[in-house]
Amino acid sequence: MKVNVHQNIKILVLVLSILFSLQKSYSQNDNFWSNVSFGGNLGIGFGNDTFSGVIEPSALYNFNEQFAAGMGVSFGYIESNNFTATNYGGSLLAFYSPIREIRLSLEFQEMGVSRTLEIENAQDLKENYWYPSLFVGGGYRMGNVSVGIRYDLLYDSDKSIYGSAYTPFVSVFF
């Protein structure tokens, strides 16, 4: 699957424009910063000669008790035997809570990926590319913490940084 970076940037700019116009109309009556939440995801994993880590700080604007939207940045690293991968990028986030305990999510993520496979007695295999993801998800919300699962509608098993289209998550926002 060939990724059209220019098309993805156009979508990103359109979504950001909509979010900022919504923010402007909502923030006229409220103090903007009192409606902003900071948080995100943090992950670390260890296995058979394997290490993986990810940090994803985010900022959300809470339009009301049910709807929040914002953006985040991501950085991840994986090392396993003769394989290493680094990924970095950004995302646009939207959350909807039909009731306080349920959080539904939509996230567009664009990641730069750099992978290296070291091959003994041969030239290393290196790849650098951009990979888009469009996640839909849902979870249980307990105060500032949400736990759930999301599904990548654009999942490509050859290029994705995730092992499956389904990804569990734990996120915290303050």
pTM exceeds 0.85: no
How far is C-alpha 28 from the geometric centre of its chain's CA atoms?
A: 29
For 63-94, write each residue's pLDDT tens digit.
999 999 999 999 999 998 899 999 999 999 99
Instruction: Tell me: pLDDT of 156 over 80.
Output: yes
**DSSP codes, 36-84:** EEEEEEEEEEEETTEEEEEEEEEEEEE-SSSEEEEEEEEEEEEEETTEE
Two structure tokens written together for 55? 């940090």
Q: Is the pLDDT reported for residue 17 higher than 80?
A: no
pLDDT classification of 48: cutoffs 50, 70, 90? confident
Overall CATH class of domain 5-173 = mainly beta
How would you classify residue 27: left for phi > 0, otherwise alpha for psi between -120 and 50, otherwise beta?
A: alpha
How is the chain split into domains, by residue range? 5-173
